[in-house]
């Protein structure tokens, strides 16, 4: 079994946990494939039984990789998605961060989670991605996101007008600082912080949520994910900001943009003892009211 290991940053305090995980994986006789930058940073802190294989990007991530471990927070896991793309390699998030809706396996759960993986006691969850189409090439070979696509004002403090269409039919003009189109997975992220609803990952929907709307009667709307959402942007600046998860591009107001459901899914690994309801109860502190 070949497993890839990815991380973009870690603290000295994380070293014992990382070392324990690597040694356990070796103990289970798994072949390790390190992201080259991660290995360069960690090789002075851990010892390996044999020299690992290395990869630097999507092009040299072997097709026979059985699983990729993302060590960090949700942002690190979103980076990992760019490596995986349409390869269908399952991704598991080990939480070195703080909140961790996606990288939900904590230090306390690591040993049990690793045992579950080796024993095959886990579920593969297929998660919808959102795809960006634009009249100019942006976001290179990864014009997709697991959490959300956003439009934001740029170069000015004035709000922008975002004319929004659903399958070519006018939906609304949002006078706001920006607009979020979230997948079900992303509904617990930026969209939630802007007042959007929590949507189950299995739902076939997108959530459109304005950022600081000028009209207070404008709220989030849930739409089917089998259509195309297109935009025309006006503002005092000639440019605005587009983001796919944590990646951003400056785009001219003359650029045509639209989003739709991506043609492929991302596979997230979930040990059987973890599920979405347990995660939101833990992360959002639902049910801790002593009156319950």
pLDDT at 125 over 80: yes
3-state secondary structure of 190: helix
pLDDT for residue 87 is more than 90: yes
- Give residue for tokens 């990007």: 57
- pLDDT, position 277: 86
* pLDDT given at position 278: 83
Summarize pLDDT for 60-80 with one digit per residue, the tens: 899 899 999 999 999 999 999
With a cut of 70, say whether residue 292 has pLDDT above it. Answer: no
58 φψ region: left (φ > 0), alpha (ψ -120 to 50), beta (else): alpha
Contact 174, 164 (CB under 8 A): yes
Given pLDDT bands bounded at 50, 70 and 90, which one contains residue 216? Answer: confident
What percent of the chain is predicted at pLDDT more than 90? 69
Residue with more model confidence, 276 or 178: 178
What does the alpha-carbon distance between residue 52 and residue 49 come to, in Å, rounded to a whole number? 9
Predicted pLDDT of residue 1: 87
Using CA atoms, how far apart are residues 126 and 283, in angstroms rounded to an integer? Answer: 21
Break the chain into its structural domains and give their ranges. 2-128+265-284, 130-261
Nearest alpha carbon to residue 253 among 161, 169, 148: 161
Asked whether the predicted pLDDT for residue 184 surpasses 90, the reply is yes
Tell me which fold the domain 130-261 belongs to.
Tumour Suppressor Smad4 (2.60.200)
Q: Residue 100 pLDDT > 90, yes or no?
A: no
CB neighbours of residue 284 within 10 Å: 14
Instruction: Report, as residue numbers or ranges, the catalytic residues.
Output: 74
* Residue 181 binned pLDDT confidence (cut-offs 50, 70, 90): very high
Domain formed by 2-128+265-284, architecture: 3-Layer(aba) Sandwich (3.40)
Same fold, 2-128+265-284 and 130-261: no
């Amino acid at each position: 079994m070949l497993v890839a290991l990815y991380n973009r940053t870690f603290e000295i305090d994380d070293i014992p946990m990382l070392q324990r995980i690597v040694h356990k994986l070796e103990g289970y006789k798994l072949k390790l494939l390190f992201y080259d930058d991660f290995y360069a940073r960690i090789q002075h802190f851990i010892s390996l039984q044999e020299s690992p294989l290395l990869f630097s990007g999507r092009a040299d991530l072997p097709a026979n990789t059985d699983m990729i471990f993302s060590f960090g927070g949700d942002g690190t896991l979103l980076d990992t998605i760019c490596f995986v793309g349409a390869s269908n390699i399952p991704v598991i998030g080990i939480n070195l961060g703080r909140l961790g809706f996606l990288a939900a396996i904590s230090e306390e759960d690591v040993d049990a989670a690793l045992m579950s993986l080796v024993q095959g006691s886990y579920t593969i969850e297929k998660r919808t991605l959102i795809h960006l189409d634009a009249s100019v090439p942006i976001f290179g070979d990864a014009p997709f996101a697991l959490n959300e696509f956003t439009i934001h004002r740029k170069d000015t403090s004035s709000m922008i007008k975002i004319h929004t269409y659903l399958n070519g039919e006018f939906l609304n003009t949002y006078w706001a600082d920006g607009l979020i189109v979230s997948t079900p997975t992303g509904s617990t992220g930026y969209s939630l912080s802007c007042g959007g609803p929590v949507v189950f990952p299995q739902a076939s929907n997108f959530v459109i949520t304005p950022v600081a709307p000028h009209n207070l009667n404008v709220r989030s709307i849930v739409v089917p994910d089998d259509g195309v959402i297109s935009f025309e942007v006006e503002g005092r600046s000639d440019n605005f900001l587009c983001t796919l998860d944590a990646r951003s591009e400056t785009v001219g107001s003359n650029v045509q943009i639209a989003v739709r459901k991506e043609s492929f899914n991302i596979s997230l690994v979930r040990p059987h003892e973890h599920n979405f309801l347990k995660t939101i109860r833990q992360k959002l502190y639902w049910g801790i009211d002593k009156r319950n």
